[in-house]
Amino acid sequence: MKLAVAGKGGAGKTTFCATAGRLLARRGHRVVAIDADTNPNLHAAIGLGDAVALPPFLPASLVSRRLDGPRLAVSIDEVLHDYAATAPDGVQVMRMGVPEHPDEGCLCSAHATVSAVMAELGAEPGIVTVLDLEASPEHLSRGTARDADLLVLIAEPYFRSLEAVRLQASLAAESSIGRTVVVANKCRTDSDRAAIVEFCDRNGLDLVGMLPWSDNALDADAATQPLLDHAADDPMVDAIGAALDEAGLPALLGGDD
Ligand SMILES: Nc1ncnc2c1ncn2[C@@H]1O[C@H](COP(=O)(O)OP(=O)(O)O)[C@@H](O)[C@H]1O
Ligand SMILES: [Mg+2]
């Protein structure tokens, strides 16, 4: 089962992925979280502390490009062994390759590597893959998330964030992604909530959750700590769990939670 998370920069994608990944692990699932942002920071949000070496970036050499798309040249078990680090609750974390030099050109091969890893993980029964995407809609045009069963678009209650989500939802609708849902984040007021509901209704977007504004999320970030470790009882944590349920995760996972 593959869950991809996208939305505008700063909307809360990484906070959502880190928290959702660990909540799913606590529900008994084997979770692999992939940081597919070229500005990687999922490792900090999920709790790969200083005691754990950061996983090496996934190299493009793992993949052979074929006519029918990129394929892993080695087994997924080898990839996990060599390129995953274990975060709290047993979540395995991997990181997409990042630019190493200025002017080195496009990152197609880094995206193709993640796409191939996702495809293999999806074929493994019992693994939930959580993919933390970057803000640009490029991951949709490049097909990085093409095999996702569920795409969660995180939206803040202001027009530019909602417009970014609308664009990504329309691209996703033309792709092979299973289902696309919207989760609103940083909702402070009734008018925030009403604006999101109205926007989603008007654009046919499937709103499955509203996460409240959380001072704890900001404080956790400042302390380089996961929200779950900083303030496990923060209402945002429960709201993320509820959004996963509303998005149909239990059914996608075989109804066993
Ligand atoms: N519900 C929330 N309330 C307040 N701040 C939040 C909330 N969700 C996330 N944040 C903060 O917003 C900033 C961006 O969040 P992040 O998850 O890194 O976004 P993205 O991955 O979309 O760029 C971080 O400082 C994070 O702590
Ligand atoms: Mg992020």
Each residue of 224-249: pLDDT tens digit? 999 999 999 999 999 999 999 999 99
Q: Rounded to whole angstroms, what are the CA distances from 20 to 61, 111, 192?
A: 30, 23, 23
> What does the pLDDT average to over 205-226?
97
| pLDDT per residue as tens digits for the range 143-170 | 677 779 999 999 999 999 999 999 999 9
The CB of 225 under 6 Å from ligand 1? The reply is no
Which residue's CA lies nearest to atom 17 of ligand 1?
Answer: 12
Q: What local confidence, expressed as pLDDT, does residue 67 receive?
A: 67
Mean pLDDT score of the chain? 91
Q: Rounded to whole angstroms, what are the CA distances from 43 to 59, 109, 160, 219, 229?
A: 18, 22, 27, 17, 14
Minimum mean pLDDT among 13-27, 46-60, 137-151: which range?
137-151
SS3 248: coil
Which of 93, 105, 83 has the alpha carbon at shortest distance from 32? 93
Is the pLDDT at 141 greater than 70? The verdict is no
Q: What local confidence, expressed as pLDDT, does residue 255 receive?
A: 52
> What does the pLDDT average to over 19-36?
97
The CB of 214 under 6 Å from ligand 1? The reply is yes
| pLDDT per residue as tens digits for the range 100-120 | 767 666 677 888 899 899 989
Of how many residues is the chain composed? 257
By most ligand atoms within 8 Å of CB, the mutation choice from 221, 234, 238 for ligand 1 is 221
Tell me the C-alpha distance between 218 and 223, whole Å: 9
SS3 230: helix
Q: What local confidence, expressed as pLDDT, does residue 147 receive?
A: 79
| Ligand 2 centroid from CA 128, angstroms | 19
Angle subtended at Cα 4 by Cα 96 and Cα 185, rounded to the nearest 5 degrees:
110
| Ligand 1 centroid from CA 15, angstroms | 6
- Nearest ligand 1 atom to alpha carbon 8: 22
Which residue's CA lies nearest to atom 15 of ligand 1?
Answer: 12
Find the DSSP H helices in 203-248. 215-222, 227-230, 235-246
DSSP letters spanning 76-91 = HHHHHHHH-EEPGGG-
Which residue's CA lies nearest to atom 26 of ligand 1?
Answer: 218
pTM score:
0.95
Is the pLDDT at 10 greater than 50? The verdict is yes
| pLDDT per residue as tens digits for the range 172-212 | 999 889 999 999 999 999 999 999 999 999 999 999 999 99
Which residue's CA lies nearest to atom 25 of ligand 1?
Answer: 218
Tell me the C-alpha distance between 128 and 124, whole Å: 9
Residue 38, C-beta contacts closer than 8 angstroms, at least 6 positions apart? 96, 98, 99, 107, 110, 134
Pull the structure tokens for residue 186. 């940083």
